[in-house]
């Protein structure tokens, strides 16, 4: 009788500093999926005591918490974070993983390669660690330049490099910190599409609205995202105020879900609105499918976006969505009905007029759009995504056998 094949151990490393967004959700999703499938054994190293740390623990994932200075959360200082690197080395020697998967690292890359571990590197988001965009201080620009040169020299030694979108890879090449002929792997993020659809279809919408003091027959417009400058929550509130001023939109209510550095400012801005009772601030939430199921229009308007999970969630549920045409969002909405959901970045007039149009859709047109959205979302089902990731892992490991 043949013995079962031993699971290969994959160690994920990402100091999250208490944030919870696309990267953190990726780590939870992929580690749980790999653990369930049984081909790979996930071990995660993240910041100690954070939401990500506890969520991984709650899901039965082996997780180590590293402690370091909060100042290293700033992208410009990540390359100096020797403290977490020392802790990582200790964990690597203890766990002896078959492969290491890094998410936005710098000094750790060289250490891992010097220790002889196969290394997969993922770019998420919009890569503030290396990008010069918005950096005007000459000292910071010089440091960024050094970081960029160092990373560019390291890239050929990585065993695999993954990008969440073609747009992200091409932007990094255009900015000069990837070799012009470098391709890497495009691995779009994924979601449990069927589970999200089931959650949306089986919920009691009337009860959900009643619980949040929203009239049952009212229309809802939602913003579900991290509350920071890039995600642009203030522009969403400005949009809502313009919609409230229109005749025929007296029933409209606004739902904002998320947390982040602008949370207090967002709440203060809502209190200044003419009708603050029509705003419903929920804070950080995990019942995303249920919120979207009660929404008549979802708004996703970051200035930069590596992928855009919020857009994919709206598609999965079938909720009409308007999104900035930036980064991976364009690739998610690359189908006929999706193209009309795209809005040029910071084009407030187009966003306003399309919002009015989407909120006024007849039932038949809304149902057809919902069907098209859901069909598109199936192309990003997490089963296909994890299949591809496991294939990449196997290809890397084969080179070391």
Average pLDDT of 161-175? 87
**Per-residue pLDDT for 2 more than 90?**
no
Whether residue 107 has pLDDT greater than 80: no
Q: What's the whole-number mean pLDDT along residues 359-375?
A: 95
The band of 396, judged by pLDDT with boundaries at 50, 70 and 90, is: very high
Residue 92 Cα distances to 155, 299, 400, angstroms = 21, 42, 17
What is the value of pTM for the model shown? Answer: 0.88
- Residues with Cβ within 8 Å of residue 212, at least 6 apart in sequence: 255, 280, 282
CA distance 47 to 84: 9
Domains and their CATH numbers in the chain: 8-190+382-398 (3.40.50.2000), 193-380 (3.40.50.2000)
Which of 1 and 133 is assigned the larger pLDDT? 133
Q: Are 277 and 269 in contact (CB under 8 A)?
A: no
Query: Which strand ranges, in their side-by-side order, compose the sheet holding 62-66?
Result: 62-66, 40-47, 8-13, 99-103, 119-123, 160-163, 185-186
| CA gap 211, 287 in Å, rounded | 14
Q: Does pLDDT of 328 surpass 90?
A: yes
- Percent of the chain residues past pLDDT 70, beyond the cut: 94
The residues that bridge with 40 in the sheet, in sequence order, are 8
pLDDT at position 374: 97
For residue 98, pLDDT over 90 is answered with yes
Q: What is the per-residue pLDDT across 181-209, written as a single tens digit (0 to 9) for each?
A: 888 899 998 999 999 999 999 999 999 99
- Cα–Cα nearest to 315, from 331, 326, 303: 331
Answer with the residue of higher pLDDT: 109 or 98: 98
Residue 128 confidence (pLDDT):
53
- Is residue 31 predicted with pLDDT exceeding 70? yes
Contact 213, 281 (CB under 8 A): no
Average pLDDT, the chain: 90
The yes-or-no verdict on residue 339 having pLDDT over 70 is yes
Instruction: Please answer whether residues 328 and 165 qualify as being in contact, where contact means their C-beta atoms are separated by less than 8 angstroms.
Output: yes
In this predicted model, what pLDDT tens digit does every residue of 279-304 receive, in sequence order? 999 998 989 999 999 999 999 999 98
- Confidence check: pLDDT of 241 > 70: yes
The two three-digit tokens of residue 363, written as one number: 């039932």
End-to-end CA, the chain: 24
pLDDT of residue 125: 62
More confident residue, 156 or 75: 156
120 has which bridge partners?
Answer: 101, 160
Confidence of residue 108 (pLDDT cuts 50, 70, 90): confident
Count how many residues are written for the chain.
Answer: 401
């Amino acid at each position: 009788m043949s013995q079962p094949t031993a699971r290969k151990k994959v160690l994920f490393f990402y100091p999250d500093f208490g944030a919870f967004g696309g990267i953190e959700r990726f780590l939870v999703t992929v580690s749980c999926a790999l653990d369930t499938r049984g081909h790979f054994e996930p071990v995660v190293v993240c910041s100690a005591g954070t939401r990500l740390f506890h969520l991984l623990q709650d899901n039965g994932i082996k997780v180590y918490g590293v402690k370091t200075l909060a100042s290293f959360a700033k992208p410009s200082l990540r390359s100096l974070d020797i403290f977490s690197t020392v802790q990582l080395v200790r964990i690597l020697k203890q766990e002896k993983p078959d492969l290491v998967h890094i998410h936005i690292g710098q000094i750790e890359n060289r250490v891992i390669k010097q220790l002889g571990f196969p290394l997969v590197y993922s770019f998420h988001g919009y890569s503030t660690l290396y990008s010069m965009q918005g950096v005007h201080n000459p000292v910071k620009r010089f440091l960024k330049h050094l970081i960029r040169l160092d990373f560019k020299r390291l890239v050929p030694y990585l065993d695999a490099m993954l990008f969440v979108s073609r747009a992200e890879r091409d932007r990094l090449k255009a900015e000069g910190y990837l070799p012009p002929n470098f391709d890497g792997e495009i691995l779009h993020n994924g979601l449990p599409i069927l589970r999200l659809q089931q959650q949306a279809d089986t919920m009691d919408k009337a009860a959900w609205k009643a619980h949040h003091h929203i009239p049952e027959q009212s229309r809802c417009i939602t913003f579900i995202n991290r509350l920071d400058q890039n995600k642009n929550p203030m522009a969403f509130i400005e949009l809502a105020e313009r919609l409230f001023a229109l005749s025929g939109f007296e029933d409209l209510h606004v739902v904002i879900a998320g947390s982040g550095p602008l949370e207090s400012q967002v709440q203060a801005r809502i209190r200044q609105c003419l009708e603050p009772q029509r705003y419903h601030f929920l804070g950080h939430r995990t019942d995303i499918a249920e919120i979207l199921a009660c929404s008549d229009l979802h708004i996703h308007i970051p200035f930069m976006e590596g992928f855009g999970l919020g857009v994919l969630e709206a598609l999965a549920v079938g909720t009409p969505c308007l999104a900035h045409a930036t980064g991976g969002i364009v690739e998610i909405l690359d189908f006929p009905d999706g193209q009309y959901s795209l809005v040029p970045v910071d084009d407030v007039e187009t966003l306003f007029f399309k919002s009015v149009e989407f909120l006024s859709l007849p039932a038949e047109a809304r149902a057809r759009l919902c069907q098209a959205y859901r069909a598109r979302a199936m192309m990003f089902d997490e089963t296909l995504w994890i299949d591809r990731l496991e294939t990449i892992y196997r290809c890397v490991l084969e080179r070391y056998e």
